[in-house]
Amino acid sequence: MTGCNLFLQRHVRALREGTTPEVLVILPWRTADGRPVRAGWLDVRKDGREVFVESLEHGSGEIALTAADAPYALAVRKGRLEDAAGSLESIPVAGDERVAASDPLCVSVALTRG
């Protein structure tokens, strides 16, 4: 699961400082057709900087985000090509689905929150 490791250090620091740690939100994702995307990546960015990338080669997976860091920008890469695929202004609420789609690359990724 991509994203958890980035927040672990902040969680430990908060515990040491006696403050309330952030809560991670686990978002399962899947490609629109459930098929793997060879050489495909979902880029998660904050303020123009890459936070992490998630391989799309399995067709589904999970990422972890925090509401405190929103908004996030999303991009899709396929091979050497890249396209902006939307943003997450806020973390989806339970039952909500957000789609990051790139028409030029023919890749669509649905992020859901159970």
Residue 64 and residue 45 in contact, taking contact as beta carbons nearer than 8 Å: no
pLDDT for the residue numbered 77: 96
Query: Is pLDDT at 6 greater than 80 in this prediction?
Result: no
Q: If you write DSSP's letter for every residue of 34-84 in order, what string do you get? A: S---TTEEEEEEETTEEEEEEE-TTSEEEEEEEGGG--EEEEEEETTEEEE
What's the domain range around 32? 4-112
CATH of the domain at 101: 2.60.40
Q: How many domains does the chain have?
A: 1
Name residue, tokens 């997976």: 61
Query: Is pLDDT at 1 greater than 70 in this prediction?
Result: no
- Give residue-wise pLDDT tens across range 63-90: 988 888 899 999 999 999 999 999 999 8
- Give residue-wise pLDDT tens across range 16-65: 999 999 888 889 999 988 999 999 999 999 999 998 899 999 999 999 88
Q: Report the chain's mean pLDDT, rounded to a whole number.
A: 90
pLDDT for the residue numbered 2: 66
Confidence (pTM): 0.85
